[in-house]
Amino acid sequence: RNERKKWIRCFDNVKAVIFVVSLSEYDLKCYEDDKTMRMTESLQLFQGISNNTKYFKGVPIILILNKFDLFQERIKKVDLKVLFDDYDGGKDAEKAVEFIEKQFKAKCEDSAKEIVVYRSVATDTSSITDIFEDFLKKKQ
């Protein structure tokens, strides 16, 4: 956390931001403080990056919702309500991921900002290649 302010200055002439979130850790706390939920931390960081007009104005964001396979299993056991009181989709993984996606997009104050969302599976390395290829096709 304390290093973030230092590395933000390294981003000059950025073409896209790749933001990766672990879906399956929504009910776990951060290593650093044992109070903040990991997904909450990710949402706060995403908000800061997506609204940073000094370095990321007009820069699209590729939001990768990673570990979807593990999330599908976890949501059957741990309700998303542990993090989001207003979630009412139950144990439905699709509804839960759509809800999480909306939470991230809502953090961006610029409605014109391009945020492209992908899901990936932790063990499928080819899915990342597919994500980049798809994004590049959309940019042409």
Q: What is the DSSP string of 71-128?
A: HHHHTTTS-GGGT-TT---TT-HHHHHHHHHHHHHHH---TTS-EEEEE--TT-HHHH
**For the whole prediction, is pTM greater than 0.85?**
yes
Q: What is the mean pLDDT of residues 103-126?
A: 91
pLDDT tens, position by position, 42-81: 999 999 999 998 889 899 999 999 999 999 999 999 999 9
**Predicted confidence (pLDDT) at residue 19 exceeds the cutoff of 90:** yes
